[in-house]
Structure 1
Amino acid sequence: MDNQAEKRKILIVDDMELNRALLCEMFQTKYTIYEAENGAQALEILERESENIAVVLLDLIMPVLDGFGVLQEMERMSLTGRIPVIMITAENSEGVMQRGYEMGAADIVTKPFNPNIVIQRVHNIIEQYTQKLHLRQLVAEQTRALREQAEKMRENSAQMIDTLSSIIEFKNTESVSHIHNVRVITRLLLAEFAKGHSEYGLSDSLIEMISEAAAMHDIGKVAIPDNILNKPGRLTDEEFEIMKTHTSRGSEILMELSGVQDLAYYDYCYDICRHHHERWDGGGYPDGLAGNEISIWAQAVSLADVYDALTSKRVYKDAYTHETAVQMILDGECGVFNPQLIECFLTALPELNRSMKGGEMLTSTVTATGEVTIPEKKKKETHGDLSSRTLYLLEQERQKYQILSELSDELIFEYDLRTDKLVFSDRFQILTGKDPVFPQISRILSDASLVNAEDYSRLYRMLERVTPNRPTCKAELRINLDGQGFQWYQVYLYPIWDMEFEPVCVSYIGKLINVEETKQRNLMLKKEAESDPLTGLLNQRAMREQTILALKDRRVKNAALCFADVDNFKSVNDERGHLFGDMVLKEVAEILTSSVRHTDLVGRVGGDEFLILFHDIVDQQDIERRVAAICKKLNKRFKSYGITGSFGISRYPQDGEDFDILLQKADQALYHSKDLGKNQYKVYDVSCANRPFRSSLTRVDNYNEKIEEMARELKNRTSS
């Protein structure tokens, strides 16, 4: 067996030498290895060694000629059907995988992969293709022999069944022991059933004939594609529907083989092949038969088939124990069976156990060359030490990784989900003086001492949405990395997947970039852009934007917009100068800020105009009390200068829900308060509706102030 394996040759095609070296490590003990660093070199080797190469392990993305180009050329050279190609690639999109299969790939392995699984898949595919090359010729020869020797085959029917059953064995290497075991279990079941059901006429010779015919139950699997029949995982709904057709395809094959139709028990073969997946309650396939519509021999084979499938190891599952398998059958997990047949099954269990222990029941394992060893023996797998070439290449990669990490300002880390351990690069210890290894990191994160709790929850939600098709995760977190306080970091996370069956994330590779200075600089610039340079309050644009945003918050139920104007400011500013005027405006800003809560907004929106948004106003009396207090403070502070304040108020949502509407009504109320004599406030009502409204937030003196100014100018001109 080992000599046969050593004669076989594998062609590894990958432009990365390390990848080729790692694959060589996996296969070099059993196979001769050819290597090619691009598609063109691969084709040269194929032209020279096509008769000797058992399989091609092909990378997708390569210089000169990529993997698809190699497949295309192999098709032109008529090699695709003869030499299996297994594509090994990090690209896992449906389009790429579909194109690969359409162009003739026997299998596609996505990186990262489980080496043991890939080794077994390669071994299986090599054996399947080896047998597949002879399958058509073998079937044709056997069919011809059947026609020519019909009489001989009738006399030696068991041999005929074994020959046809071998077709299944060629197709599915797991079927070898399964066919034998189904025969044994069927014989035991029917023998027990015959004891209490003489009406079926189940003689010993008939039971023997039926048990031999049971070998034909899965003959239709020769029509099922290899990638579905031998898939090492759960079938999709579409694949399962294809798998189900093996019952009808098998009966069609039997109908086409005239030599088989001459056999005395052809009807049993046909019935078992077509109906061994029917169920007592009508829930089976392909014909949906129920109850006694299903022949007793098809029922017996069905139960035998299920029991052996449960207790046997498959590429997609481990074997269940005898007790578990029986309980699953009784619980109806595999469909509903004839209650009388179930009773016979339970009665026959002791005999079934004796058959298993005595070696009559077989367990099988497929060796590296596809040979079946019976009974199963566990062999210790020895891969030997890594070659010096592989160790050298791995050391080079490690040094490259370390150098890149040191050259960068970034902190590289790896998180292993299985061990819950976080490991930083050496730079972490240089920057913080701490151990770069964090065992049980989840426990550390739970107390929010390392990562801000709110940010950690946000990151966790983002990671839940990560898939092989959407693998990248980027976030900004506040992290207390050195124990001196939280700082802002950009975090990039890249998942590592275990693709053995269903994709499972096993670890993350990531990096941290300190963006605290950038964050603070941006916050400062943002504050400068939003602030009034004189008073430090929100400027006109920022006040508008933040007020609109606040009003959209569903938590805000009642609010008030207050438009404030400093009375007589222009006159005082002209008389005392701009420095005095600036001092007044700054003190007004301080009074307004000290009179509101931290949840309220205050902004300077014009020369001597201010805007206040009061959150969570209880009622109209509440807002009137607040604004009256501000009026009183302004009057007290600036009374000697003749400076007071006038205020117009609109209420949310009573007076409107839109900012511009509330602003218009607050402005109209402000005009009304000016007309009433200044130094007071006015809450918008119908009396304000006809007041003028300024379309922009700019300082415009009211009508009375303009009249006074014009009178002074006229007086000055007259006196001069």
Structure 2
Amino acid sequence: MEKRDTLLLVDDVEVNRAILRGIFEREYNLLEAENGDQALVLIEQYHDRIAAILLDLVMPVRDGYQVLEALGRRGLLSELPVIVITAEDSAASEVRAFDLGASDIIMKPFEPHVVRRRVQNVVELNLHKLGQQERIEEQAAKLRESNAVMVDALSSIIEYRSVETGQHIQRIRMFTRVLLEEVARCCPEYGLDVRRIDMISSASSMHDIGKIAIPDAILNKPGRLTDEEFEIMKTHSQRGCEMLANLDRMGDQEYLQYAYNICRYHHERWDGRGYPDGLKGDAIPVCAQVVGVADCYDALTTDRVYRGALSPEQAFNMILNGECGSFSPRLLECFKSVQGAFAKLSQEYADGTRRTHPAAMQLSAAEPSFGEGELDSLQLSQMKYFTLLRYADATVMEADLTTGLYHLVYLASSDFELLRGSGRFEEAFRGFVENAVHPDDRALALQLLGEYLDEFFNEGLMRRSRTYRVFSHATQAYRRCEATMLRVDTGHPRQRKVLIIWKDADAADDAAAPKLADNAALGALLGGVQVCRNDQWFTMQKINGSLGALLGYSEDEVREKFHNRYLELIYPPDRDDALRQTRQQLQAGDAVELEYRLLTKDGRLIWMLDKGLRKMGPDGSEYLILVLMDITQSKQAQEELRRTIERHKLIMEQSNDIIFEWDIERDEVLYSANWEKKFGYEPIREHASVRIPQVSHIHPEDLPQFNRLMRDMAGGVPYEEIEFRVADAAGRYRWSKIRAAAQFNETGLPYKAVGVIADIDEERRATEALRERAERDELTQLYNKSAGRGLIEDYFAKRPAQEGAALLIVDLDNFKQINDTYGHLFGDVVLREFSSELRRLFRGEDILSRIGGDEFLIFMRGVPNAEAVERRVERVVESFRQMFRHDVLRGNPSCSIGIAFCPGDGQDFETLFRHADIALYGAKSRGKNCWLRFDAATMDDSFGLGAQQMVASTRIESGEAPDSAAQGLVEQAFRELQRTDDLEAAVQAILEMIGRRFGVSRAYVVEDSRDGRCTTNTFEWCNDGIRSQKPMLQQVEYETLGGRKAYLSLFNEEGVFYCPDLQLLDREEIRDLLTRQDIKSTLQCAIRDESGFRGFVGFDDCVIRRIWTRDQIETLTFTARLISLFLLKRRAQEEAERAAGNLRTVLDHQNAWVYVVDQGSWKLRYVNRKTRRLAPEARAGAVCYRALFGRSAPCEHCPLGGEEQAAARGTEMYNARLGVWALVNAAAVQWEGTPCHLLTCQDITDYKK
């Protein structure tokens, strides 16, 4: 069973999803949908991974009730529990949700721990149910295996009782399986999957079970049965059904239904002349039809008491020609395909060979109803074929002249009844000629069996006709018949299959010979008109002069060198394909169109377009009239285009990014193959702007910005990029970055958007992990003070006007006594346990932070009223009081809490914190072990002075002083890197800060070259008295160090190379390099990205052989990763800036005036070539309105001064200086690291006149 570790959250309100996300994100992988359609797409993709669905009822597009209905129709509710979370508390709503299949209903608002527990209960029950179903299936498989053994035993009773059966039962099984597999391939409408084929094959063993009731005198009688005896024999099918009806206690009803149908109906025939019920056509179950053919074939090819065995070929012909009764035409077509397999099985399982038993078959479900409904395409084609034969009034025979097998497909008249023989084709045809053809014409007719036939195949002819007289029983006279032989081209040189058609010669159309006037206009065509015989060489009847001139050959040269064979003029590598295409197209009609190359006399290759028409000649052979045209120039252009496309494809395949192209007018998107490689499913291609917002795999939070990007591209914004999350094949959201650029048509309107989608998941998650670690308190994993404050201030910057909030400060009473009495380690345990309790009691969207040793800050957003907060605070106080047993701690542990509410007590962090702090002092003053909310009427700032002293005295560091300095170092490094614009100066400053803090001799950064062959020291800080090594460590090749692989092997799985004593290093080349730098001990931390190793950050001690502590290693490693993350980002930015040079080239080739303007100074930063030609004084550094418009002040209608949406739509402006009207689009961009605006101006002067 697939691991089910995913919850699907379906709610159109982002806040509701955020609450649920906070509850479950640590336990489950989460997928999110904001409407019912998107939810159904995700369910369809990931239903085998989803543990439960949390569904809101009221949503746009498709509501929760409709989602439940859709899941019910698809049969998914049995494996996917749905928990409805809604604010609708009416009884009717609950009844409807449960009736539609909901597993549980949770009303809003809800308690987080209650939701978590109820969801866990539902998930565990469902997983238990699914596990039980798997065990039941295993037991059912064992039962089916036991049933199979019983069926074998029962079949053996019949087999050993009848002297003629031998291994008949075993062969029937094998024949049935082989024929069923072919039927399943050719006739999918029967629904024959592997399970059903196994079941029917096993059930076929019971087809003759009723013979156990037939007297031995009849069953084993040598010779023909009398009519009375045959009637008794025919009862075996009914007797068998009566026996099977008593086996219903076996429990497998589907298997018994198959066995019953096979036993009763396998002697029924397609035309209704079978027994016992005279069923006709598809009224006969397909399982019985197949076993009927298998039984008939086995009866013919094995020795019976009344006659000897026939050859497989003879039996095959008898069944096809209806001598054993009528079978389904479709079934006979399948039977033809397995003729070889049947013959092989007849030999392998012949009577007297070792008996084998098949594996047990797997059974389930019910007997399907086959053949119902409308006709399938194959059946309809066969009906049309026989209708055409009736209309043409022609007798048709299909023959394989290699094996002698034949099949009389359609008999138009009894005059050809002699063709229905039971031997090989030659015997049947010779018997027909000798008894039905006029004596004077017999030699002509029998040519079919001699050189006439050999010539037909050797020359590769497709059609040949002869006319001779055949005796008519109706008129008692001979009539002229045209016998036409058509080659069935299988593409195999050794196969000789034909269709022979006999038709009244008087009714046949006279085939006119292909006549071509010696038309000068036709001859003047580039390749002319050429008449060729439709044989295997396309033999030319006459060489066209234009063709000879084109190739440089005379008519005599073509005759002597190429034997008038047009195929030999074709370039050898193209011959087989030209021949194959001609045969294929002629099977569908008389017209041919193909392209190939001809080889001229001087060795040049020329491309020809060949358009031909098939005609019948006076000699009864087919001819092709070919119109030839030289298309060499157009093919060369196509080849150049193909090479360009191939180069483009190779570039795309080398990239890990996804390249896309959005056709804005058709609203279709093309993607490179990397999409399916990366995400594992097909993307949305058609109606993209409509379907992506509704049913895509994009995270709902990222859909608004994705929709905005599509609107901007369609509105004419030249360039834009965003970061978003999209679910992969495993249901995990991956971070991606999309960069898109618009393409404009000649009228200045966008018609396409092209760009790339890059995978930034590892980079983004690494950044988030580092930020998370920098923001979290190491002991409790709650937010630290600065991170908690930052989140609260972010909330106040975006707080809805009427939303309420509460800030709580929690202080553990007398915590210093716990530390002093039980030690700091025990105190740490208390703090961790209390933090876990806080996480359990508060919601996922609440902000929990540790602001001191024993002091915590809690911020609750979106609180409905003060009573809800007070109830939660009461539970905090009570929970800590009950956390430890009485015999664990001396005294009663307790906490005190101060509360301040927003907006009543303040609307910013500083005010609320001060008031909550004052309230906390009040709680402490009242004897602790209680909570108090701020009251402005009874508490003032003077009251707060004592509070500050009181609270300050309780804040301890819980014995974690050694780690606090390290934590502060990490935070300081993170802030330095995050806030700086000069990364190089920041890295240098951090290296110095680390070096002095830990007393190392040298701190440095080493970066690999692009190809990874060498490495360079890019940053270095040296302590006092330490010699710089940076000049000596430039472009150091890894080969001089024993190879790059050898150096990388020094780093462990965490990317750390730690060597406390250089003399212990066994790599001689590396040890020598480090020794030359006077290094005694080193610690190196790898710089890695998605492509692998990119360098390292190193710390050396050149004074002593240093033993680094674990805390020091962790701190240095974490700081090194911080540096590497920002450094890699800067290197990527530098790479992007190098790519910007290419962007300038692209912009210079745009058919528009494009320029970049500094955001504050109006100065031009870039001007493309077309703009420079129009306004030569427009140069980088010039003011845009002066250089382009000749003005002394900014333009009144400048798009940079208007609204962003207006700029995106475009502004029409008139340039009086240049005398042109322009449609101006503006977009904010980063140009060389500076905020700027990119302006694109399309000339619309002609439209304004």
Tell me the TM-score normalized by structure 2: 0.24
Flag the structure with higher helix content.
Answer: 1
Flag the structure with higher strand content.
Answer: 2
Tell me the TM-score normalized by structure 1: 0.40
